[in-house]
Amino acid sequence: MTIKAYSIEGNGTFAQDVPAFAAAIKGAGADIVLAPGVSRAKRSMPAAAMRAGVAIDTNVVAVQAEGEKLTVQRWAYRQRILTTFTRAARPWVILVDPSLFGEICAQLGVTPEAMPSGAAVETRTTMNGVVAAGKGGESTIKPDSPLLFVAGAGWTKKQADGAAHRDEAAATITGFLAKSGASLGSSKSLVDMPEAAAAFSFMSHMNQVGQTGSTPRHAKGLATCCHGEEPHVVGWRFVNERRAVNLDANCGWAQGKTDVLYVADAFAVMKKVNELL
């Protein structure tokens, strides 16, 4: 079994990369072709594999070779099931997690080579000029931020004075995001709440974290006004340090699902945090 590995760096267009990647796959003369699953590869490599007539799998996290048999592992069902499988088809293109690419290549004893770049491709598209885009709202989703701030439906509930303060809640949250540079997450109950849509216009289902949302990988996470039950915290399993603010000392966060639980009013806590920032 012959294994070939290609490193893919820099930028490239789909029109240039697809024929170049397909030619590299055909010209490799290998049974297995490995490449890191960077955005450039994920965009063009599947089409290149189809053009070359070979099998392809993406998001692979482990590769094990035993003689002529190769098995791979990848997550399924929102990263709750780790599957192990193999394919009889050859050549077989495998895109592995970029952070594990070097380790897997070393384990298999192969040295990555630079992927050949594509030649210029003529298209029917011509550029007549560049128009500056208008300024839009600041993005609240920041995957590179070290902190994830998650807001729950408790921000919309009636407070101690018997009234809901949604505008104040929105100002407190956006103020913290602006000062801390945190990425914003939300519970499903909050983004599904019609009456909160006007005040929380900066939030959408794209911010949803949890069982039916995303599974972010920030270094730290702070949950406020979330009850901390399983639908909330399942999306937090890759967050290293978890903290939560909730008035209920018996909420789900207190059941071993967070490193630190502050039993306090999130309005008061975040107001003080914003003052300190």
User: Looking at residue 127, what is its pLDDT?
Assistant: 66
Non-local CB neighbours of 118 within 8 Å, separated by 6+ positions: 12, 16, 17, 18, 19, 20, 21
φ/ψ (deg, to 5) at 34 = -105, 145
Burial of 182 (0-12, 13-18, 19+ CB in 10 A): buried
User: Looking at residue 123, what is its pLDDT?
Assistant: 63
Which candidate, 140, 204, 201, 182, places its Cα nearest to that of 273?
182
Which candidate, 85, 42, 40, places its Cα nearest to that of 62?
85
10-residue mean pLDDT profile of the chain (277 residues): values are 93 87 93 94 94 95 93 88 94 95 95 80 66 60 92 90 92 94 92 87 89 88 89 85 92 88 94 94
At residue 144, the 3 state secondary structure works out as: coil
Structure tokens at 2: 């012959």
Ordered structural domains, the chain, with CATH:
3-114 (3.40.50.620), 147-276 (3.40.50.1220)
User: Looking at residue 174, what is its pLDDT?
Assistant: 94
At residue 37, the 3 state secondary structure works out as: coil
User: Looking at residue 121, what is its pLDDT?
Assistant: 61
Cα-based distances in Å from 227 to 27, 132, 173, 224: 56, 44, 18, 9
> Which residues face 186 on adjacent strands?
151, 208
User: Looking at residue 136, what is its pLDDT?
Assistant: 47
**Rounded Cα gap, residues 267 and 236, in angstroms:** 23
Q: Where are the extended beta strands (E) located within 137-181?
A: 147-151
Question: 14-28 vs 39-52: helix axis angle to the nearest 10?
Answer: 60
- Element (H or E) spanning 73, and its range? strand 69-76
**To which residue do tokens 């995303």 refer?**
214
User: Looking at residue 160, what is its pLDDT?
Assistant: 84
- The alpha carbon of 266 is separated from its chain's Cα centroid by a whole number of angstroms, namely 27
User: Looking at residue 96, what is its pLDDT?
Assistant: 96
Amino acid at 190: L
- 120-152 burial, b at 16+ Cβ within 10 Å, e below that, comes to eeeeeeeeeeeeeeeeeeeebebeebebbbbbb
Element counts in the chain: helices (H) and strands (E): 7, 12
